Structure 1
Amino acid sequence: MQNIGSTILRVVLGLIFAAHGLQKFQGGISNIAGYFDSIGIPGFMAYLVAIIELIGGIAIILGFATRLVGALLTIVMVVAIFTAKLSVGFIGADGLAGYEFDLALGAIALYFALSGASDYSLDAKLFNKK
């Protein structure tokens, strides 16, 4: 049962990240780059974040390079919290989202960085490991 639960959690996490990465490209990545510049992060990092979210989300869904991708997604969420969300608070204020969602996604990504994928993953099939 733990393999099934872990697989469901991994697929949901991957769907969320892949959707957010795709949205960044579809919504105008240059707008995201401008926002990054405005908060003191080099604009080119928007492209890196979008790629990590999109490709990483797909990889997490498949259970491929799960530990590495989990670590990258954890880093993305930690940086997002400390650069863009912390000042708004845990729940948020004035119509702005807080960092509770980012914290949850980061914690789930960290789980996969530490534990790897379940038996129902490409990692397990290709490399015979969890």
Structure 2
Amino acid sequence: MTKEQAASTIVRVVLGIIFFAHGLDKFNNGLENIAGWFASIGLPGFVAYLVAIIELVGGIALIIGLGTRYVSILTAIIMLGAIGKVKLANGLLGGGQGAGFELDLALLAMSVYLALTDTKALSVDQLFQRSKTTAA
């Protein structure tokens, strides 16, 4: 394994853990409450369910390395939405108005990195790549 493969594996697993934890938290706190909060900021309530599922299932997928590129694109979209709709007005660090968007920006960067790089080392995706190669 190269340094780049090791780095992308670490980023993939850490991002997966973070998104899994956020998705699990949404389910544990009641999706109806989250949907209500989404509605209060002008988003359709059903978007909360989509976000929670993407975070929970996508987090697991990232941890095991299944569909990393696609999941990373979805998490990047979620982070763009979180920054643009909720956190941007608070500024980078928040300044006493609530959380800033520094964490969201870091998660966005990690998602984009994974969407653009080879992330198959130590992943389920690697198994599918091998089976395609041996079948040809």
Partner of 1:46: 48
Identity, % of aligned positions? 53
Among 66, 81, 84, the alignment partner of 1:82 is: 84
Counterpart of 1:7 in structure 2 is 9
- What is the TM-score of this pair, normalised by structure 2? 0.90
For 1:49 and 1:75, the matched residues in 2 are separated by 10
Mean Cα deviation higher: 118-127 or 38-47: 118-127
Match of 1:93 in 2: 95
The equivalent of 2:126 in structure 1 is 124
TM-score, structure 1 normalization = 0.94
Following the alignment from structure 1 to structure 2, what is the Cα–Cα distance between the partners of residues 15 and 22? 10
Structure 1 outlier segments of 4+, above 2 Å: none
Paired with 1:119 and 1:84, the residues of 2 have a C-alpha distance of 35
Name the structure 2 match of 1:108. Answer: 110
* Alignment partners' CA distance in 1, 2:57 and 2:73: 14
Preserved CA contact (<8 Å) 2:5 2:118: no
Q: Distance in 1 between matches of 2:116 and 2:7?
A: 16
8 A Cα contact 1:52 1:73, kept in partner: yes
Counterpart CA distance in 2 for 1:31 and 1:39 is: 13
The offset of 1:95, in angstroms, is 5.3
Paired AA for residue 115 in structure 2: A
Hey, what does 1:66 align to over in structure 2? 68
Q: Any conservation in 2 of the 1:66–1:116 contact (CA below 8 Å)?
A: no
Distance 1:85 1:66 in 2: 26
The alpha-carbon deviation at position 127 of structure 1 amounts to 2.1
Question: Counterparts of 1:16 and 1:96 in 2: how far apart (Å)?
Answer: 20
How far residue 116 of structure 1 moved from its aligned partner, in angstroms, is 4.0
Number of residue pairs aligned between Structure 1 and Structure 2? 129
Q: Which residue of 1 aligns with 2:26?
A: 24
Gaps of 5+ in 2: none
SS of residue paired to 1:92: coil
Give the gaps of 5 or more residues in structure 1. none
